Structure formats: structure tokens, C-alpha cells
Structure 1
Amino acid sequence: MKDALRYGIVGTGMMGVEHIHNLKILEGAQVVAIADPEPTSLGWAKDALGAEAEGVAEYADSASMIANAGLDAVVVVSPNFTHRAVLEPLLDSDVAILCEKPLCTTMEDARWVVERAEARKGVFWTGMEYRFMPPAKAFIDEIHGGKVGHLQMLSIREHRFPFLVKVRDWNRFSANTGGTMVEKCCHFFDLMRLITRSEPVRVYCSGAMDVNHVDERYDGRQPDIIDNSFTTVDFADGTRALLDLCMFAEGAEHQEEMSATGDKGRLDVLIPPGDLVWSPRVPWPGPKAVERWHVAVDEAAMDAGSHHGATFYQHEAFARAVRGEGEVQVTARDGLMAVAIGAAAELSAREKRVVEMAELLGA
């Protein structure tokens, strides 16, 4: 086995613990340091590490961790609004960084990270797990391989459970998250860019907080995060993409469904079943020629998290990049663009108008 890469985890809440579980089953990885200002969160990390917790150093912040822990890689999983502060001392080093989505909550901070990340030697990777779900990856590979022909329409649906409770309820307010369209939906906007291989031109989002959190109050304040929306994105190559989000549909059979339609037919992926469905065009009225197949996922990877194995497969790819054996697949600039589309959607929903991407990105 190759020398183990020494990892530090900054932010050991729910998603930080998922990263720990996945690093435990990744060959050649060792978690040697954890950082979080919350003792409860540090306790969750130690529980996840189990017997391996002995000897793992604990820190209150990323600055003390990077100064003392002797790390090869750091995974940033702190609350969204803390990313810039957490990243600042890390970006001054050459340590490899995997920063969870969204890259930042504002365009200003995201631009700052991109500038610093692109000027340094160390690997910088934006955590976009959904790219690495085996069924989603197979879906993307089929599209890029020409299965649907010339892609014209891309539809993504996520119908799921409400936002979970986080430490100090930080995720109930857009000021902390960037808003639902940034916090949650940056995954899907990233997939849109990846699948179309084009850049967004304009965004229209109709959304609101209609069901979830309406009766909650925090120090007298009501949450302000969108819980359902339709977002249309026009891309430079003429492709249209749609995101259909509902966060009070936990009873839905499929949490995610994606459909790509081109001049040869339509391809769907269903998650969690992990099935792809191919519907080629046929002369009307048929018969139809629908095919369906299943994409397998490693059982250990499935058991190590809640993202259909994606966290493990992303870590495999990240580790290859850290070792110089593979390319960075999700750059800081990719993270910036996902934030930009999400920020445009938030603005569109608030002001009930089409938002040109040039408003956020410049001409």
C-alpha cells in the first residue's frame, strides 16, 4: 500500500462525519486531525473514528490545524458562511484542499477563493458529490457519448425532505447559506454545466418558502429559505435546463430524477433506484422501444454516507489528484459558477424577473 495521505477535517457536523466514514474505507487515507469549535461536533467525529480516534489531534480552527498537524489534505466541511475564514490560512499553504459546496455564500467571497486557489501550487477541489454518484456519472457519460444525439433539453427534479437541523440552526437563514438555490441547488447547477458543456446566459426562478419552517422562530426571526421552486437556465449553446425542487416531498419514490432529451431520444436516471431508462425516438405511433438497466454501487460506499456512494468515489478521485495521478475534476472556478447560477436564481425569485448572468459575472 502507498504511504497513507494524512487528512484533516474542518467541521465535524453531519457531513463532516460522512467524510470521516468514507475516508475510513479509502485505501491509503488516514484522518489525523479534526477541527471544530463545538465540543458536541468533535464528539460526533470521535464516535465516527471509533478506535482510530486515539491519537487524532483536535483543534479549534483551521489555522492551528494547518500550523501543527503535518497534513497532506484538508476537507473543509464547516458551515457555508465560514468557508472564506476557514480557507484563508489553508490557502497560504500548499496542502491539498477539498472544500464542500457551496464554495462560498457570496460572489465576492467566491471570487476571492478562485483568485487565491488559482495562484497556489496545491490542489484545490470543490466538493460536488453528485457528479460522482455512479448512476449520475453513467447518465453523464452516455450523454457525452452521443446517446441522445444533440442535447436540447435537460430536466432535473429533486423532491426530498426538508433541511435537517444543524448546529445553532445556521441553515435556516439565507444570510448563512447563500439561500436554498445556492446551498442546496449548486449541485444541480454544477451538473447542468457539466452535462451541457456550455455556460449559462440567463436564469429565471419562481420559488418561495410555502410549507417548511413557517412556524419556526429563532430569536424572533422567521427563516427565509426557499422550499420549492422551478428554475430555468438558458445556456450559450441553446440548451435549456430546468430544475424542479420540492423540499416537502419526502414521500416521493425517487429523490432525484434527471432527463436529457436530444434529437435521437430521451435518457432518464432515477435515484435511489440507480436505474437508467432509454427511450429512443420511434415513428408515431410506435411501438416504443424503451430499455432499462441498473448501475451498481459498491455496498461499502453506499453504507458510508447518504449520497448514493458519491462521497467515496469523489474521495477516490481527489486522492488521485493529491498524489499527482489524476486531474482536479471540480475546480474552484466550477464552484464559483455553481454559486453564480444559484445567486442568480435567488435574485430572480426575490425580484420575480429574468436575471442575465452578466449581472453577476460581468460582460
Structure 2
Amino acid sequence: MTDLVRYGIIGCGMMGQEHLRNIRLLPHTQIAAIYEPDGQMRQAAALIAPEAAFCDTLDALLARTDLDCLVIASPNSDHISQLERVAEGRHLPVLVEKPIFTRRSDRDRLDAISRGYTAPIWVAMEYRYMPPIAVFLQRMTEATGGLKMLSIREHRFPFLPKVGAWNRFNRNSGGTMVEKCCHFFDLMRLATGSEAVRVMASAGQAVNHLDERYGDETPDVWDNGFVIVDFENGTRAMLDLCMFAEGSRYQEEISAVGPTGKIEALVPGPGRFWPPHLGDPPVPQIIESPRVPRGPVVSGVPVDPALLEAGDHNGATFYQHQRFNAVVRGAGVPEVGLEDGARAVLIGLAAQESAMTGRAVELDPGAAEARQSRSA
């Protein structure tokens, strides 16, 4: 490979365009080709990456020999089938957006890809790379004396409009606990260093999208919920989600507690949604609260304005692409693999099931290890 890394992009909706802007911030990169079937999204992508060639089909993009890697940012329900199509041809490094699949029955399809694919595949879990969350994770063990309880609150704006309103229906997105919350279940697994064994949830649709109609259908995606996850090592984690709370100062509030103290990360939402009359948007914060001596210690975690301008994830997409770019160049391995992506989705699907049935859902924490041993 030459010093220039040439990207092929599959899907250029809202998230795909964020990927484009952040790739262009990296040195020695080029958006070589894009497959995006929606005309309006093609026009928007062309403004960001005017050098890119547009392909009319996925097959046409995959037939190009000048690509060094791929980014898949299509609607959720397309991810697994597009990965399968990629796997049939030349095996290039792939960054694929979450969720990696939307139905339990897709798990076997993912395992088949994992066994046969010879290039790195990275599942995009941007929240890991938000600067305040990265600092939170780095300091967590020392600040808490060993994690025992983890709490994640996201109070935010409703789902934004997407092409064809695909994110308004569970059959396309996998449901809110998969589409939105697999990020948080991934963070729970990362922070606890353990696998989920039990999921209990209460969730539903209370406010958002009830007055919308698409054909003869009303959206069925949930807009609020509580999820409790028990982990194999005894750690407990909780998610508090509300998607009609865009008036909040901070969008995410993450708390970890252990025998010697507590640490929190406060993360604002996208700056473009902050009311201008309130002045500058809030700066992310880390708060450490030891038991002895008592008293919180607050520190800011400012984010480069250029990275804030490039996307809605507090610079996380850029830092993720830095690491993926290194993998493409042979200088690393994926930090979020297919198994990580699958386990986060399975927790989300269990939360959907628990909320619908009113019962706790048991998970098999040993399944990941069994799969890895079979593929070794």
C-alpha cells in the first residue's frame, strides 16, 4: 500500500457524512469512492468529498481495485448483508457502524463471516472514544478502588429523520435498545471487564413520533426506558434513557462507584443543538469523589473545536478513525471486534425482550469464549 489510504464508503446519510468529515481531517487519506443510493444524500456527500467517484451499485464499488479499506454506514438492517457481500470478494479492512446485526438469527451469519474473513473488521462504537469518557475509563479503577456499580444516563433529543424513515420502525433498527443503546452496553462490558448474565428492563414509547404516519403505519420505536444488567463478576450496571429531554445541560452522565470512591463523566450533546441565547455550550467534565478525604474534584475535558465541528460525538469519530487508519496501515489491530459488536447487540435484544415480556432475560456469558475457541 502507498502512503495514501483510499477509502470506499457505503452509505452517506447523517452518520456517513460525519465519517467523511473526520476522514478528511486525517493526513494522507482520500475518499476514493462512495455508494449511496439516495440522491439527496449523494449531493450532500459530494459537497464534503468532491474528489470521490460515485458508484451506482454496491457491486460497482466493491469491484474497484484502488480501495484500501471500506466504511459501512448504511441503515442498520443492511449491515450484515453488506458485510457478507464484501466477504465474497477482496478482503479489505472494514469499519462497520453499529449495530452489527439487528436479529438474533443473524448471529450465525456473523460467525460465518468472522471465520472466513482474512482482513481486520472494526465495529464502530464511537462512545468509547469521546474524550471525557476515555478519561473516565482511564481513571475509573484508581478513583473507585475497583468498579462495583456503573450507571449511565442519557437524556437527549428524539431520533432524527433518516432516509426512508428507517429508524422509526423496530424491524429496521432492531429497536431502540439495539439501535441507540448498544453503545452503552458496549461501554458496560468494557468498564466491567465482564460479560452480562442477566438483563431486566422496563421501556416503551411515551411521547415521540406518535403523531407521525408513514403510509398506514405509526412509528413503534421506544423513547424511554430503564435497563439493569448483572455481570458475571458481580458488577451491576444500569441505563436510564429518555429521548424527550433535549433541554438537559448534559446529554450523558456516567457514574462508576467502588469501595474507595466515585467518578463521573458529564458529556454535553451536539453543539449545534445548544440554544445560542445561553452562550457557549458546556465543556465536558470529570468529577472524582473519594470517600476519604470527602469532597468532589472537578476537571474540564475540552474538545478541539475542529473535531466538534466535524461531528456530533465530541470528537470521538475522529479518534476512532485515527486508530482504524493505523490498523489499515498494519500498525495495530481492531479495538472493537465482531464479538464485541455482537455481545453489545445481544444485551440490547435481551433488553427489548425483557421490556416486552416483563421478565428478566438470562444470557450465556461463556458463549463468547466458546466461539473464540472453536475459531482458533
TM-score normalised per structure 1: 0.94
What amino acid maps onto 1:203 in structure 2? Answer: V
251, 259, 264: which one aligns with 2:260: 264
SS of 2:118's partner is coil
- Judging changes above 3 Å, is the alpha-carbon distance between structure 1 residues 118 and 191 closer, same or farther for their aligned structure 2 residues? farther
The aligned counterpart of 1:153 is 149
1-structure distance, mates of 2:318, 2:190: 20
After TM superposition, what 4+ stretches of structure 1 lie above 4 angstroms from structure 2?
A: 359-363
Unaligned 5+ segments in structure 1 are none
Q: Deviations over 1:182-225 (max 9, x none)?
A: 00000000000000000000000100001001122211111111
SS of 1:135's partner is helix
Q: Is the 8 A contact 2:170 2:221 kept in 1?
A: yes
2-structure distance, mates of 1:62, 1:339: 25
194, 202, 205: which one aligns with 1:209: 205
SS of 2:30's partner is strand
1:1-363 → structure 2 map (5 Å cutoff): 3-49=3-49, 53-54=50-51, 56-92=52-88, 93-144=90-141, 146-272=142-268, 273-282=283-292, 288-358=294-364
Q: Is the 8 A contact 2:232 2:365 kept in 1?
A: no
SS of 1:147's partner is helix
Q: Deviations over 1:117-148 (max 9, x none)?
A: 3432211000000000111011011124x321
1-structure distance, mates of 2:104, 2:29: 33
What amino acid maps onto 2:25 in structure 1? Answer: I
Matched length: 353
1-structure distance, mates of 2:366, 2:156: 29
What amino acid maps onto 1:24 in structure 2? Answer: R
Identity of aligned residues (%): 47
Please, what is the CA RMSD of the aligned residues? 1.7
Q: Is the 8 A contact 2:8 2:34 kept in 1?
A: yes
Q: Is the 8 A contact 2:195 2:365 kept in 1?
A: no
What amino acid maps onto 2:130 in structure 1? Answer: M
Unaligned 5+ segments in structure 2 are 269-282, 371-376
Q: Deviations over 1:56-96 (max 9, x none)?
A: 21113332211125211110000001112221221232211
1-structure distance, mates of 2:363, 2:266: 30
| Superposition deviation, residue 342 in structure 1 | 0.3
- Judging changes above 3 Å, is the alpha-carbon distance between structure 1 residues 361 and 226 closer, same or farther for their aligned structure 2 residues? farther
Q: Is the 8 A contact 1:344 1:360 kept in 2?
A: no
2-structure distance, mates of 1:127, 1:73: 14
SS of 1:151's partner is coil
SS of 2:286's partner is strand
2-structure distance, mates of 1:359, 1:140: 22
